[in-house]
Every structure is written in structure tokens, then in C-alpha cells.
Amino acid sequence: MSTLLPQADRADVPPAAHLLAVEDLTVEFRTRRGVVHAVNGVDFHLDERETLAILGESGSGKSVTAQAIMGILDTPPGFITRGAIRYRGTDVLTLREEDRRKVRGQKIAMIFQDALSALNPVFSVGWQLGEMARVHRGASRSEAKRAAIELMERVRIPNAAQRVGAYPHEFSGGMRQRIMIAMALALNPDILIADEPTTALDVTVQAQIMQLLAGLQDETGMGLILITHDLGVVADVADRIAVMYAGKIVENARVHDIYARPAHPYSEGLLASIPRVDQRGGKLEAIRGAPPSLIDLPPGCSFHPRCDYRRDNCTRDVPPLYEVSADRGSACHYWQEVLGAQ
Amino acid sequence: MPSDLNREPRTPGEPLLRVEHLVKHFPLTQGIIFKRTIGAVQAVDDVSFELRRGETLGLVGESGCGKTTTAKTLLRLEEPTSGAAYFNGQDIFRLSRGELRTARRKIQIIFQDPYASLNPRMTIGDIITEAWEIHPDVVPRAERSDRARDLLERVGLPGESLNRYPHQFSGGQRQRVGIARALTLNPDLIICDEPVSALDVSVQAQVINLLEEIQDEFGIAYIFVAHDLSVVRHISDRVAVMYLGRIVEIGDEDDIYEKATHPYTQALLSAVPVPNPEGREHRTRIMLEGDLPNPADPPSGCRFRTRCFKAQEKCAEEDPALIDRSGHGHPSACHFPEVLLSVGS
């Protein structure tokens, strides 16, 4: 029958097997209004060439998880109170500051939703792209400029040589996101974390950016963590998916499995509630209520106030991540019923 | 343009709203003291459409296409440069201030951002009843708080919410307040400007369902402005696709989503990710090259030709009218309209 995934599994698989392994990651924000439990014991791993989607709504903890991995959490108020973040087996949280920075700066890179505010408006994009080469490799100005042009060509910005001296505001939203991607690739990272990379973009531009990311991943073999709320984008590109709700992974699975047969009521509810471009509308099956406050999480399963499968013990017992099958878990006491419902 | 659009309106059985040749240009000026006009951003350029009672028209397109400006001119939140909009028999664009006030009762708007569109210093009750202060004949003073309570309950909020403030509500609940406010004056038309795009996925469906229920119950027409083509397909009876200030294709939901003939509509639809990974390797996608042209200096001929995969010489020379050229049953502003069967999934 169901066994608990996290601890049981870890003993026999050496963590070094994974490019990135996040274990029991717990992050809280200590605010005046109380402690915000943003991430509550998250486990996942990522291998080379793999695309892992972390899907969740605002406040689910998906972006905070990414910030914790990148080491860009605002501390205070944010603190990692438990857990490990292993890059090729080494827990970066236990490293000395200097070594930690080497891993995070060079091996793990991140792009954000808002490319305009991530770029410095008073320097040309060429200067900002060349900065990587100057700072990390001690390149001269002309070498740095050449490196910048190469990077711009890699992300397919037309007329790179002419546009290298242009400033961020002179580029469109899609082109700015390409510049962010170029910057992230400058040091040839093994892992790219993309936090809602296309949310601010129009749909035709989104398609261009996702195609670019897929192409670059093929080229370099990097692992990609895609943080998003968009079930469409996930279905398009992800190999595996981790669904987050109230700071926990409630279901993780291969992408084909979860779309065909979700094993957690929240995943099931999300899939039923979205209108689809390939289907005509009927009534949408909305999930009732709203996500809980992270200061005052409901006892037991955090999803129970909105759940149709709820029984008495759901309000009491926190569900562990039950093993549904190899490489698949669901944090629902009644996951078999959810699976059986489809 | 078909000439019948120019005839004078006002017969029963008329559409609720008829927009004719709507143009909105924003002047570009230079100089601080002596301002000179050096050009104009052609935000909306010759847009015409009709809306029947109780119907939902989806207005889609990417940022900068003019969909929000079109919607705002209908409330005269932006003054149009030229054109006409006949609503219940009157040209909204030619009303005096006083007449406009009366006409606006029947046209309401719901905004995208439920955080910015409710005054944080007013209670929910004040927000709902404010319109009745301006239009006192709609609901007698003594009945107002009961009516406000009823409206709140109708949109799924507890009646006690009357005495609370916007910050005490979540995004989805605030959008419900926005909907209740839009209903206070019994409108015939509600303009919904991206009403669910700021909401979480799990809450979006609740608000979409509520909008549909209210439409069925009160027979209100919607102009639904959105960039999310999935949401628009779900809620719309008819859809107009805009590009660079023009409608490039308009038709029934089915015409646009199953039988689109304009290359831009086809590219737009093929770019929408389908939430189903099965067969994703075989999905075809039309990738558009380049960026949106400068709306102050649109391309000659067809505005889409600079990014179109079908563009020919004719497209640069001749501006394609929005007509049904090929008997597909709905108008498309393309010289070479054809249905692409492989688009989407």
C-alpha cells in the first residue's frame, strides 16, 4: 500500500544522482503580523535536460522556493528554517558564502517575469551583457562587447551587432526577455530557473520565447525549472510537474499522467476549472473558496476547506506525500478515490 | 465598408449597440511651450461592429491593438476622434454632458484590477450605493441598504459585507463587489475590461461563471475585452480580433476558433498553449516574425503584412476591407482568406 515518499526513498538513492535535489525545504517570513509559512517542507529533484514545472497560484510558495534555491531570499524577513538544496550532491546551504556564490552565480541562473525592471535602464544592454565576461573572466572591453554580441545572437535578437549599444527601453517586451535569457546563459549554467518568464508577454511572443528556451536547452543540456500558473504552458513543455498549494507540493508526476488522471483534488479542480481554447464552453467547474492565509493555515490538509473529497480526518491529519506509483506522489489521504473518479 | 452601415438607425429590432467607423488617434506632440503636433498614434482606426441585446462580444488582440481604447470610448472615458456609436437609438458620441449621464446608467464597466478600482476609504456599502446618490430615482432612499444587501448576496458575498472595507476581501471577492456595483443601475451593457486576468486560476472560473449567470438572469450584453483567447472562447457568442487599431476578423465564436481565415487570427490561435500534453510533438505552430509595427506609422496596405507568412505585393498596395470575400460566412480583412485546417490541435 501507500508508503511515504520523502524519507523512505532517500536512503537508497544517493542524492548525487541528481543535478539538483531540494529536500524538506522550509521557508518562513517573520513579519509584524505573524509568521508567514511560505514553504513548508518541499522535496523535488531535477536532472540534466529535464524540464520540471512548478505550478501554483499566487501565495503557493513557488517563487519563494526559487528564491531560496538562488539565494536571493530577502533575509530578514525570510529565513530558511529547514532543509537542504543539493547541487550535484553538495548542500549549498552548508557551504561557505564564497563557495555558495560560485555555485549559485555560475551553475544556477534565473530569469524573471518582469524583464524591464530586472535590467538597468542607464546602461546599454551590451554593457550589461558584457559585464559577465568582464567580472567573471576579466575580459577587456572589446572582448566583452564581442561576447555580448554573441550572446544576443544566441538568443536570436536580430541585428545584434547594431543593437548592442541600445538601452533596455529601446527593446520590446519579448526582446527584453531574450536579453534576460542571454544574461542568464552567459556563464553556461547547468540549471535555469524561469519564474513566470512569459506571463507579462503576449501569446505570440510567449510562443517565441518558449521555443527559444527549448532550443537552448537542447543545445546545452541544462535542466530547466519552469515556475508558472499556466496549465497550458506546462502541458506544452514540461517533463514533470510539481503542483504547489499553500507552501507544499500536493502532487508530483510526469506531465502526461497528471493531465490524463490527476491524483490530488486540487490538481483535478484546476484542470476542470480552466476554459480551453480547443473546446467550446459549458459551465466551468470552479473550485470554491480562495487559497488560505499563510499566517493562519487550516489544520490538517491545507486544501480541506475547498475539497469535495474531505472526510473528518482531513481537518486533523496532515497528509504525507503518498506514493501513487514510481516517481509520482499525492498529498491526499484519498488519492485513490481521486484517481478512481476519472 | 458595407453602405448599409450609414443609414440612420432607430427601428425596433435594432442591435443594442452599433459602432460605426470609430477612430481614436492620440496626437504626438513636440516642444514644451509651443506644442506642435508631429503625428498621431492610431490606436483605433475605423472600427465598426454591432452588438445585440444579451449577447457577448469578445474583443481580442495583443497589447497595443486598440481593444481597451475601443471599449473606453464607448463610455466616453476617452473622447473619440471620429465615428458614431448608436446605443439604444442615441449616438453616444454626440450626447451633451447631461444626456451622457443618463445614457451611462445603461452602460457600466468592470475593470481588470480589483485592487485599484475600489476606493479603499469607502465601505462596500458606500461603493454599491454611490451610484444611487447620483441617480436617486433608481432606488428610493429607504430601500437602498436592502437592495445593496440583495445585490451582494446575488454575487455570492455575505450581506454583512456592507460595513466592511475593500482590503478585507480577496481579489476574487473584490471583483464580485465590482460586478455588484456594475449591476446597481440595471444596465443593458457591461464592458468587461480583462475582468479575470488579475485573478488566480482557481478563482477565475468562479467569476466567469458568475458573469454568465448574471447575463442569463438580467439579459445584459457584454463587451468582453481580454487577451486570453481561452477565456474569450468560453464566454463569447461573437468575437472580434484586433490588430494595430483595426478589426481584422469578426464572426461567431465558431467562425473564429474553428474556421478562422485571417493569418493573424490563425497565428494567434496556434500560439495559445493547449492544456493537454497528448500529441504536443505534432502540434503545428505559426511563429510570427518581428515585433508590432509603430502604431504612429503603420505599414501601407494591410497592417499585418510586415509579419504575415502570406504577404504578397498586393498586400503592400491595397488595404484589405473587412468583408466576406470567399464565402466563409464571416468577414476577414485579408486579400487571401482561407481556412487552415492544421491550426491548433
Mutate to test the interface with A, among B56, B197, B232, B234 (most CBs of A within 10 A): B234
Cα A62 to chain centroid, rounded: 6
In contact, B262 and A194? CB cutoff 8 Å: no
Residues of B in contact with A232 (CB under 8 A): 230, 272-275
For the record, the C-alpha cell of A123 comes out as 546602461
B288 CA: distance to closest CA in chain A (Å): 7
Cα B86 to chain centroid, rounded: 16
Q: How confident is the model at residue A341 (pLDDT cuts 50, 70, 90)?
A: confident
Q: How confident is the model at residue B126 (pLDDT cuts 50, 70, 90)?
A: very high
Q: How confident is the model at residue B342 (pLDDT cuts 50, 70, 90)?
A: low
Closest in B62, B212, B231 to A202, CB measured: B62
At residue A313, the pLDDT reads 94
Is the CB of A239 inside 8 Å of chain B's CB atoms? Answer: no
The tens digit of pLDDT for each residue in A146-176 reads: 999 999 999 989 889 999 999 999 888 888 9
Mutate to test the interface with B, among A213, A230, A270, A277 (most CBs of B within 10 A): A277
Q: How confident is the model at residue A13 (pLDDT cuts 50, 70, 90)?
A: very low
In contact, A16 and A219? CB cutoff 8 Å: no
Residues of B in contact with A287 (CB under 8 A): 202-203, 205-206
Per the CB < 8 Å rule, is B230 touching A284?
no
At residue A8, the pLDDT reads 42
The tens digit of pLDDT for each residue in B184-240 reads: 999 999 999 999 988 888 889 999 999 999 999 999 999 999 989 999 999 999 999
3-class state of residue B20 by DSSP: strand
CB pairs under 8 A between A and B: 141
Closest in A57, A232, A273 to B272, CB measured: A232
Q: Average per-residue pLDDT in chain B?
A: 89
3-class state of residue B169 by DSSP: coil
At residue A228, the pLDDT reads 93
Angle at alpha carbon of residue B118, lines to B117 and B122, rounded to 5°:
155
At residue B5, the pLDDT reads 41
At residue B7, the pLDDT reads 41
Mean pLDDT of B27-55: 87
State how far the Cα of B120 lies from the Cα of B118, in Å rounded to an integer: 6
Q: Count Cβ atoms within 10 A of the Cβ of residue A150 and give its class: 0-12 exposed, 13-18 middle, 19 or more buried.
A: middle
Q: How far is CA B169 from CA A270, B162, B163, B251, in A?
A: 22, 12, 12, 38
Question: What ipTM did this prediction achieve?
Answer: 0.83
Closest in B201, B227, B280 to A274, CB measured: B201
Residues of B in contact with A207 (CB under 8 A): 270-271, 273, 285, 287
Nearest CA among B206, B224, B221 for reference residue B156: B206
In contact, B202 and A288? CB cutoff 8 Å: no
Higher pLDDT, B31 or B103: B103
B138 CA: distance to closest CA in chain A (Å): 32
Closest in B200, B257, B280 to A235, CB measured: B280
**To which H or E segment does residue B59 belong?**
strand B56-60
State how far the Cα of B177 lies from the Cα of B210, in Å rounded to an integer: 12
Question: Which positions 254-273 of A are in contact with B (Cβ < 8 Å)?
Answer: 255-256, 259-260, 269-271, 273
Per the CB < 8 Å rule, is B280 touching A275?
no
Cα A208 to chain centroid, rounded: 20
At residue B95, the pLDDT reads 92
Residues of B in contact with A307 (CB under 8 A): none
Nearest CA among B318, B288, B290 for reference residue B302: B318
Closest in A203, A278, A280 to B345, CB measured: A278
pLDDT at A187 > cutoff 90: no
Per the CB < 8 Å rule, is A274 touching B278?
no
Mean pLDDT of B139-162: 91
Is the CB of A236 inside 8 Å of chain B's CB atoms? Answer: yes
E strands, B95-138, are: 107-110
The length of chain B in residues reads 345
Q: How confident is the model at residue B130 (pLDDT cuts 50, 70, 90)?
A: very high
Domains in chain A (CATH in brackets) are 6-122+167-340 (3.40.50.300)
Residues of A in contact with B65 (CB under 8 A): none
State how far the Cα of A233 lies from the Cα of A226, in Å rounded to an integer: 9
Task: Say which residues have a Cβ less than 8 Å from residue B165's Cβ, sequence separation at least 6.
Answer: B120, B121, B122, B123, B124
**Minimum Cα–Cα distance from A283: chain B residue:** B209
Q: How confident is the model at residue B341 (pLDDT cuts 50, 70, 90)?
A: low
At residue B9, the pLDDT reads 42
